[in-house]
Amino acid sequence: MGEYQYYEFQAIERGLTKVEQQEISRLSSRVGLTSRKAIFRYSYGDFPANEKQILAEYFDALFYMANWGTVKLMFKFPISLVDPQELAEYIYSDVISIKKTKNHLILNIEINDEERCEWIEEDSNYLDDLINLRTQILERDYRVLYLAWLKAIELDEKKLIQSKEPPLPHGLKELSESHKIFIELFEVNKYLIEVASINSPKINPIQDNILEKNITKLSNSEKDDFLLRLLKEEANLSLKLKQKLSAFNESVNQQSSPEKRTIKWLLTEAQKAKQLEQERQAEEIRQKNIRELKAFASREDDAWQEVDNLIQKGQPKPYDEAKKLLIKLKELAIYQGKEAIFSQRLEDIKTKYSRKKTFIQRINHL
């Protein structure tokens, strides 16, 4: 399998101007370009620019995937709309990082795992399924950051096992489709998610009627200021107003945070959860086999007769079918504790058909 790389950029805050589209189109003659999106695919060669710089100058989101195991998701935020200190609590090794510029904050989630080499779908627009995560972060919903952190601790060879988890977000038991796609693309351990979500409270969104009541808490000067900024068509004004109104309820909605758990505890409990799941699946398979053997027992005599009939045909395919039946009969004998009886009947068959060397070779190891 040859090398393959996929770059997808999206502009959210504003569309690209004609001049900007021309600048992006110069990067590659094969770019898929609109005023809101640019997609680059490479089977040979590489992206002719610094993708992080292109994101910073033109776009708000980047998804990158290479079939040698690298996956990257980057979001650019207006720095006035996010709290860098809150985001910084999720930074981990080289997997989760943030960079501040004069007017923006850039979040980078990146994994490099050579063991996950895979085929990349040609026609997939991955960011369409992930872009809602950017909106959630702007609304201070940090579930995707916590999920990325879970992936990071599993990949980290140093395993800082005594370090504790970052703030546990609400709603880990009620993940959105975007979260589920992120989990799939970044291969986040489902057992880690299961264990981590135990203490995660439910999301209690602020209802619209509460936000409406909070408008009355704004001073006249604050209301006038928002109206003036609305006239000037200020970007993200609706989000800024919602953040302002939601702040009135923060002290009311704050709950005591659960005690932070160590990385060692999370990894250990995840391994236990995996082991329990494997044991449960093994027991399901065992019970299914028992049911099948009990049903097969009712026609045991017919099965022995069928083995005899198949051998007499003297052909490869019937020989294979006879061997399968003998394997099933052996499993039944083991379940019933009648291995000695099975062994004797098998020896009788070998004696009876000793001249059928091809068949005997097939069943020598039974």
CB 152 within 8 A of CB 95: yes
Alpha carbons within 13 A on the beta-carbon side of 139: 14
Cβ atoms < 10 Å from Cβ of 149: 26
- Torsion, Cα 271 274 276 280, to 10 degrees, reads -170
Residue with tokens 């099948």: 292
Q: Which amino acid is at 23?
A: E
Report the alpha-carbon distance of residue 357 to residue 360 in Å, rounded: 5
- Torsion, Cα 12 43 68 58, to 10 degrees, reads -20
Nearest to 215 by CA among 235, 237, 236, 241: 241
For CA atoms 23, 25, 31, 32, give the dihedral sign.
positive
Report the alpha-carbon distance of residue 288 to residue 295 in Å, rounded: 11
Q: What is the pLDDT of residue 122?
A: 61
Angle between helix 18-25 and helix 51-58 axes, rounded to 10 deg: 170
Report the alpha-carbon distance of residue 253 to residue 56 in Å, rounded: 35
Read off the pTM: 0.80
pLDDT along the chain (366 residues), means of 10: 85 94 90 93 86 95 92 95 94 93 95 72 80 94 97 82 89 95 96 95 71 77 79 75 70 62 94 96 95 94 94 93 94 94 94 91 88
